Structure 1
Amino acid sequence: MIGSDFTLRNERRDFVEWHRGRAPYVLWALDLDLPPVRARVAAAARHLDGLLLDGYRRQPHLTLSLRGFPAGAAPADDEHTAAGLAADLAALRAAAPAPFGCRLGGLDSFPSAPFLAVDDPDDGISALRRCLPGVDYPGFCYVPHVTVGLYAGAWPAADVRRRLAAWDGGAALACTVGAVSLLAYEPSDIGGPLRCLGRFCLASRTWTGD
């Protein structure tokens, strides 16, 4: 999926021109921070040793929908409101799927980051996406994935593709999804950890959180 001749170089700095002092950045996601998933992600990162930015601490997760920054007095397109989050919860109660399964597969890559591909055999991820439209960006194409890290340099894409193809991670890793999580991170810390603001249980249709 690297569409150019080189990967995109990430850098460790405060992207203040993006967040403009706003925090945290909020997203809906599947929390996949489980021992087998952590081990699979760590193995993939070791396979790509030398290509990735140091200090990536974001827990394994699958992003469903970007909610953005807390809204100011006049909400911008990349901000969320309490009313918007309430609408999300109402949509989840009305149309979210029951607990479902997904599978983590092989290594692939965006221009800026390698990832583990995720298969959605029960259509559960797609169903949740329909409930959670979130922030949209021009030209965005959604791909279910678990990020492995961020590229530290503009590496030749052909060389990176060969590294990705050479990885043997074993059989697809099955996961059961029982909840949708509202997660947040500090936008000044690239690759920094996620914290959970709340969870929506797919079986009971209940919300626990702020």
Structure 2
Amino acid sequence: MTLHSIACHDRDFTQWRGGADHALIWAVLADVDDVRAAVDSARAHWADVLLPRYDRQPHITVGYGGPVPKPGATPEDEPYTPERIDADRAAVEALGLAPFEVRIGGWDTFQMVPYLRAEAPELQAVARALREDRRRPYVPHVTIGLYAVSAPLSELAGRAAGWESPSIALPVTRLSLLRYDAADVAGPLTEVDAIDLRRPARTPRGTPSG
């Protein structure tokens, strides 16, 4: 059976968020010139099959937290409470990671999004600590955009032959807790907290609030 891409829709998924205003993820921010250029180049190459808008900064998700708690909200996913945030932070800090390097390059795809591959054993370790692979294998990546069409994945992959893949070394010194608008599937990310790999002390950047 031929696998096809899944056409996404740029809309508010109200049932999923159940009135929650924001959601949180743990990620490595990859918002640097080389990665932005690679994402822009790939978006241009596959532009006719992608939704026109994808405003999220380049990043590598290592763990999905969940919706920010809000009185009266009934999201489908478990709210990401301060207690859960503290437990996940402790699990990551217990790894004792030092700054590391991620290699970014090469095109690949899921059914809903094409992406640039990202490789580093530390990413896998953090994902395990955050239980990111509990339902499916964890594949670190930098999302290029969201598919707007349903097409055979083999045809979409065939286009990679005409695109020059980058090879980027991304230094990582922090793991970021990022917030996004739950009503916006392609909206920007805001860092609200972080784990600084250069020192053990906490480096808060704000209070995750709904």
- TM norm structure 2: 0.88
Supply the distance in 1 between the matched residues of 2:159 and 2:67 (Cα, whole angstroms).
36
Match of 1:20 in 2: 18
Supply the distance in 1 between the matched residues of 2:111 and 2:2 (Cα, whole angstroms).
8
Establish whether residue 146 from structure 1 lines up as the match of residue 147 from structure 2.
no
Number of residue equivalences: 203
AA paired with 2:179?
Answer: A
What is the DSSP-based 3-state SS (H/G/I as helix, E as strand, rest coil) of the residue aligned with 1:95?
Answer: coil
Question: Which runs of structure 2 are paired with 1:80-159 in the superposition (5 Å)?
Answer: 80-120=80-120, 123-133=121-131, 136=134, 138=135, 140-159=136-155
Establish whether residue 163 from structure 1 lines up as the match of residue 162 from structure 2.
no
RMSD: 2.1
Deviation at 1:165, TM superposition (A): 3.6
AA paired with 1:94?
Answer: A
Preserved CA contact (<8 Å) 1:66 1:135 = no
AA paired with 1:175?
Answer: L
Preserved CA contact (<8 Å) 2:5 2:150 = yes
What is the DSSP-based 3-state SS (H/G/I as helix, E as strand, rest coil) of the residue aligned with 1:80?
Answer: coil
Unaligned runs of 5+ in 2: none
AA paired with 1:150?
Answer: L
Percent of paired sites with the same residue: 34
Pick from 57, 69, 87 the counterpart of residue 67 of structure 2: 69
AA paired with 2:56?
Answer: R
Aligned structure 1 segments of 4 or more residues deviating by more than 3 angstroms: 71-77
Q: CA offsets, 1:111-154, max 9 Å, x none?
A: 0100000121xx21122223322695x4x221010000001111
Deviation at 1:192, TM superposition (A): 0.7
Q: CA offsets, 1:25-45, max 9 Å, x none?
A: 100000111111111111111
Unaligned runs of 5+ in 1: none
Change (3 A) 1:134 1:108: closer
AA paired with 1:167?
Answer: W
- TM norm structure 1: 0.88
Deviation at 1:102, TM superposition (A): 1.0
Establish whether residue 204 from structure 1 lines up as the match of residue 202 from structure 2.
no
Change (3 A) 1:96 1:52: farther
Pick from 40, 43, 46 the counterpart of residue 41 of structure 2: 43
Pick from 161, 168, 175 the counterpart of residue 170 of structure 2: 175
Preserved CA contact (<8 Å) 2:99 2:197 = yes
Preserved CA contact (<8 Å) 2:127 2:138 = no
AA paired with 2:107?
Answer: L
Deviation at 1:83, TM superposition (A): 0.9
